[in-house]
Structure 1
Amino acid sequence: MKWRAAAGSESPPPRNDEDPMAKKPKKNDVHGWVVLDKPFGMTSTQAVGAVKRLVGTSKAGHAGTLDPLASGMLPIALGEATKTVPFVMDGAKVYRFTVRWGAETTTDDAEGPVVATADVRPTPDEINAVLDDYEGVIMQVPPAFSAIKVDGERAYDLARAGEEVELEARPIEIHALDLVDCPDTDTAIFEAECGKGTYVRSLARDMGRQLGCRGHVIELRRLAVGPFGEDDMISLEMLEALRHSPAREDDLARLIRPVETALDDIPALAMSEADANRLRNGQPVLLRGRDAPTFDGPAYAVCRGQLVALGDIDRGAFSPKRVFNLART
């Protein structure tokens, strides 16, 4: 993790209404990933804003929206890491969620009004018997209250305005779906590992319909996203505590994951300084020698351990698509 003070010019004289002794916080060139344990009730946008303020950086973005009523992992990219966000978003995700049987809601969670009820309650054996139907590549209809666009408008905006929203089923992939516990006859706890675009709320809705008992999600927590696991998560309270730490930058450097963590699933290419400079100028590099890769596809280049570029290998040449402006070692 590299840090450098932001360049700046001499400060202008303070206005009459400014305290000349007051110091504005500096914005650091922080590059990497904060794997936030997002609290319940906070939007993903609010979480990004809070991390930007606490870390003191000006550029950040998240890798996959997490609903306000959900908690857990929200990977937040800082600085140059924002260029690698798609690789994290495309990774598998793990959720633990609790379903309340007996009622289906407009939002498929506890926020919306009830639209259907049932007196039937499934047994653990009956639940386990249908889980295989939801594994693999399946067709899923997203919730009406979702961020999917319909004729240029968000589905949830149309639904809140009282319009009838009909979304088409689309293919998703669920790698695993397991029943974890049944605390009582009304609730069941599940864990799902799934691909991009899966709506856990829709899983609860569809299982409830199939079992004849209706259902909706009452608690949802994301445990993993792409290369990040539970052990990587840090809380806003931890970041807040670092603001007053005498070794703030060193502590942050230990908590922030490197930019290239997002690229764990693609090959790395070691480059000479001369070839690295070509890549930084947007020029392709021929891959020669006995260790040259024999495959085509995405890869990233490093020079002396420093991330240089993200691009594609094609017929023995590496062409940069994204160049990283990181401090050189």
Structure 2
Amino acid sequence: MARKRKGRDISGWLIVDKPAGMTSTAVVNKVRWSLEAKKAGHAGTLDPEATGLLAVALGEATKTVPYITDALKAYSFVVRWGQATNTDDTEGEIIAESDKRPSDDEIKEALHGFVGDIQQVPPQFSAVKIDGERAYKRARDGEEMDIAARPLYVDELLLIDRPNADTAVLEMTCGKGGYVRSIARDLGNTLGCHGHVLTLRRLWSGPFTLDDAITIEQVDALARTPDLDAFIKPLELGLTDLPELRATHEGATRLKNGNPGMVIASNVEYGDECWASLDGKPLAVGRYKAGELHPSRVFNLD
């Protein structure tokens, strides 16, 4: 018999402003312990030295993580011109240098080539798998890999500030799977001057913003007290991009058991992905078909 996981049956989202020097996994583990939660996960890794919004899903909210992962997200980052590193950030060794520094107009012109549907090669030091092994593990052994380019949708990429000739502050809004370090690297190569990321901060992700966030210091101070529960956001915020359907009472009973259930729908089409609720309580995510929701994920919130 499998061991029953200890902890509280608590569901929802805790939005954390991750500090530099802490892994995303360490943040999740701290949140799970602090809330005594049975289950927790995050919706999109941040590099250890990156800061900003990390959405931590608790309990049944972990079933909505893919919808936050797939949503648009925004980053503010500083690029250092004139140097390339083997990690594409300050953690690595300098592997190339240039005396050239781009003008503001040259940067703005180059940014156009990084907007829309682009192809992006992840950094050598990244979590992508190469022949079943994480790229960063092979890179640490000195291996240089041929990593295939991957599609990325960039909604917006703007020059925000130019503190000095060596640096530029950029903001990017993009879809799933974007590597800001790759943007800095490729932008530097396009401008003929090299580049890497100095600092990186996630500003928002899907429906969550830094205005929703709690600091790690606050998590520590309120750990294992009811005051920390007050910061938990509702599970259904992870479903903001999906239409909400109202289930009938009979339909709700069927949906809870994993069966198609009758819903009241408007402005949705056959086959649309939606979520159903009863009295404001999330029941399931699924596909709408002929007056019923056919569930793919069922929430056990009783």
When normalised by structure 1's length, the TM-score is 0.86
Q: Which string of whole-angstrom CA distances, capped at 9 and with x for unpartnered residues, describes residues 264-300 of structure 1? A: 1111111122211111111112446x85844421111
Q: Which of 99, 120, 127 in structure 1 is aligned with 2:79?
A: 99
Q: Which string of whole-angstrom CA distances, capped at 9 and with x for unpartnered residues, describes residues 157-200 of structure 1? A: 11111222111112111100011111111111100001111111
Corresponding residue for residue 267 of structure 1: 243
Instruction: Name the SS of the counterpart of 2:168 in structure 1.
Output: strand
Corresponding residue for residue 7 of structure 2: 27
When normalised by structure 2's length, the TM-score is 0.94
Instruction: Name the SS of the counterpart of 1:112 in structure 2.
Output: coil
Q: Which string of whole-angstrom CA distances, capped at 9 and with x for unpartnered residues, describes residues 206-237 of structure 1? A: 11111111110010011111111121111111
Unaligned runs of 5+ in 1: 1-25
Decide whether the 8 Å contact of 2:250 with 2:262 is kept in 1: no
- Overall identity of the aligned pairs, in %: 50
Decide whether the 8 Å contact of 1:287 with 1:293 is kept in 2: no
| Separation in structure 1 between the aligned mates of residue 295 and residue 282 of structure 2, nearest angstrom | 12
Corresponding residue for residue 14 of structure 1: none
When residues 322 and 110 of structure 1 are mapped into structure 2, their CA distance, relative to the original with a 3 A threshold, is same
Corresponding residue for residue 180 of structure 1: 160
Amino acid at match of 1:204: A
Decide whether the 8 Å contact of 1:311 with 1:320 is kept in 2: yes
| Separation in structure 1 between the aligned mates of residue 103 and residue 94 of structure 2, nearest angstrom | 23
1:303 maps onto 2:283 in alignment: no
Q: Which of 152, 162, 182 in structure 2 is aligned with 1:202?
A: 182
Amino acid at match of 2:291: G
| Separation in structure 1 between the aligned mates of residue 221 and residue 133 of structure 2, nearest angstrom | 40
When residues 302 and 132 of structure 1 are mapped into structure 2, their CA distance, relative to the original with a 3 A threshold, is same
| Separation in structure 2 between the aligned mates of residue 291 and residue 311 of structure 1, nearest angstrom | 16
Q: Which has the higher strand share?
A: 2
Matched residue pairs, number?
A: 297
1:149 maps onto 2:129 in alignment: yes
When residues 170 and 294 of structure 1 are mapped into structure 2, their CA distance, relative to the original with a 3 A threshold, is closer
1:239 maps onto 2:219 in alignment: yes
Corresponding residue for residue 294 of structure 2: 319
Unaligned runs of 5+ in 2: 1-5
When residues 294 and 176 of structure 1 are mapped into structure 2, their CA distance, relative to the original with a 3 A threshold, is closer
1:284 maps onto 2:264 in alignment: no
Decide whether the 8 Å contact of 1:293 with 1:316 is kept in 2: no
| Separation in structure 2 between the aligned mates of residue 291 and residue 178 of structure 1, nearest angstrom | 38
Q: Which of 213, 222, 232 in structure 1 is aligned with 2:202?
A: 222
Runs of 4+ in structure 1 off by over 6 angstroms are none
Query: Larger Cα Rg: Structure 1 or Structure 2?
Result: 1
Amino acid at match of 1:155: A
Decide whether the 8 Å contact of 2:248 with 2:263 is kept in 1: no
Instruction: Name the SS of the counterpart of 1:274 in structure 2.
Output: helix
When residues 242 and 159 of structure 1 are mapped into structure 2, their CA distance, relative to the original with a 3 A threshold, is same
RMSD of the TM alignment (CA)?
Answer: 1.6
| Separation in structure 1 between the aligned mates of residue 129 and residue 220 of structure 2, nearest angstrom | 36
